[in-house]
Amino acid sequence: MDKPQRIEDLGEFGLIDHITNDFVSQNKSTIKGVGDDAAVIDCVDHCRLITTDLLVEGIHFDLIYTPLRHLGYKSVVVNLSDVYAMNGKPEQITVSIALSNKITLKAVEELYAGIKLACDKYGVDLVGGDTTSSLTGLLISVTAIGRASKTDICYRSGAEVNDVICVSGNLGASYLGLQILEREKQIFISDHKIKPEIDRYPYCLQRQLKPEARKDIVEKLEKNGIKPKAMIDVSDGLSSDLLHICKQSGVSCKVFEDKIPVHTEAAQLAFEINTDPTIAAMNGGEDYELLFTVDHSEYDKICKLDDISVIGYITDKSNTPVMIARNGVEVELKAQGWKHL
Ligand code: ADP
Ligand code: MG
């Protein structure tokens, strides 16, 4: 096959594969490099987890409707979520920022007030970073460092046929919240006198602007003696993220539309803006819920836990990954394209 010539043809994950393929680990301490929610480094009696995310103004956030305090909080939380997705505990973060000349001191203080709030809430320490200027807009890069015992650590690759597929919380609300913010932004641009109508969707807006990482779910599973076999956090939408588990585990899946958890406010909002709540859940992303599989022998135990839904099961890789819609029709799961390109 000809070598691909354009980034658009590869997509985000194709591009990552393309540029990292030639790298072979040279250190015995590198247990897991590229390809999971966090890298895993051997520290003799435990593992270090390292994950990083870059947030770019105009791509990941819009300062017209994003309070900087919320942005600071979210930029930390999205990284902690990746550490929890490895069944680990985050301990430190570094924060690097590139500031455009329109950012005031007050604005940076607000950003860091949000970062501090997240550090305090999740018990992590800010231990460094870098500060520079930017010609285009604000950039924030956070790296989270965590730990896990060698026996607790959970990869995307551990799912097996007949495992039960579970997801925490609910899905789609963050994407729907973003649709409202975008809608009100357009109305505001067209007429500055119109007051934004956002009070009716507090839950969806909070999910978009100030998400939480599911520390509580990792703790709950541990307390109940349930070890997830494969896990990922839902940042790109249920469909993409479940396909990552399937691909890396060499399996397939069947999920049921009527089992996918959607918050009542999200369902109401989807109805109002003519969007299918299932599409928001499957393809929306930024939910930062945990998607994981457990052995089918744990089914009764997992069903008893609050705020965790069983949405389907793992099948043999010879099957197409599917969602069974409410009307019984099988719909093939597809990964999302690269939204930001
Ligand atoms: P997540 O959504 O969990 O943050 P990503 O989809 O961003 O994960 O990344 C998937 C994997 O690819 C991770 O292991 C990440 O570290 C790695 N990765 C992403 N971009 C790059 C890059 N430019 N160079 C090397 N590794 C990368
Ligand atoms: Mg992730």
The tens digit of pLDDT for each residue in 131-162 reads 999 999 999 999 999 999 999 999 999 999 99
* pLDDT higher than 60, residue 130: yes
Q: Is 235 in the pocket of ligand 1 (CB under 6 A)?
A: yes
Tokens of 107: 């604005």
Looking at per-residue pLDDT, the higher value among 13 and 105 belongs to: 105
**Range in 11-25, 192-206, 211-225, 247-261 the model is least confident about:** 192-206
Q: Is 16 in the pocket of ligand 1 (CB under 6 A)?
A: yes
pLDDT band at 341 (very low <50, low <70, confident <90, very high): very low
36 alpha carbon, closest ligand: 1
In this predicted model, what pLDDT tens digit does every residue of 52-96 receive, in sequence order?
999 999 999 999 999 999 999 999 999 999 999 999 999 999 999
Q: Is 53 in the pocket of ligand 1 (CB under 6 A)?
A: yes
Q: Is 141 in the pocket of ligand 1 (CB under 6 A)?
A: no
Q: Is 297 in the pocket of ligand 1 (CB under 6 A)?
A: no
Region at 337 (left for phi over 0; alpha for psi -120 to 50; beta for the rest):
beta
**How remote is the CA of residue 142 from the centroid of ligand 1, in Å?**
13
Indicate which residue's Cα is closest to atom 19 of ligand 1.
Answer: 16
Indicate which residue's Cα is closest to atom 20 of ligand 1.
Answer: 16
pLDDT band at 265 (very low <50, low <70, confident <90, very high): very high
* pLDDT higher than 60, residue 338: no
At 28 the pLDDT is 97
pLDDT band at 13 (very low <50, low <70, confident <90, very high): confident
* pTM above threshold 0.85: yes
**How remote is the CA of residue 21 from the centroid of ligand 1, in Å?**
13
Q: Is 36 in the pocket of ligand 1 (CB under 6 A)?
A: yes
* pLDDT higher than 50, residue 260: yes
At 4 the pLDDT is 65
Crossing angle of helices 105-122 and 68-84, in 10° steps, is 30
Mutate to test the pocket of ligand 1, among 7, 10, 16, 82 (most ligand atoms within 8 A of CB): 16
User: Which phi and psi angles does 327 have, rounded to 5°?
Assistant: -85, 10
Burial 223-257 (b: 16+ CB within 10 A, else e): eeebbbbbbbbbbbbbbbbbbbbbbbbebbbbbbb
Q: Is 184 in the pocket of ligand 1 (CB under 6 A)?
A: no
At 340 the pLDDT is 44
Q: Is 37 in the pocket of ligand 1 (CB under 6 A)?
A: yes
Ligand 1 atom at shortest distance from the alpha carbon of 51: 16
Of the chain, the percentage scoring pLDDT greater than 90 comes to 89
Q: Which residue has the tokens 């990482």?
A: 213
Mean pLDDT of 26-47: 97
Q: How far does CA 204 lie from the centroid of its chain?
A: 16
Mean pLDDT of 247-253: 98
- Strand 125-133 to 164-168 pairing: unpaired
CA gap 114, 126 in Å, rounded: 12
Mean pLDDT of 20-44: 96
Query: Are the C-beta atoms of residues 167 and 308 closer than 8 Å to each other?
Result: yes
Ligand 1 atom at shortest distance from the alpha carbon of 232: 3
Hey, is 329 helix, strand or coil? coil
Looking at per-residue pLDDT, the higher value among 187 and 289 belongs to: 289
Indicate which residue's Cα is closest to atom 21 of ligand 1.
Answer: 16
State the chain's mean pLDDT as an integer.
Answer: 95
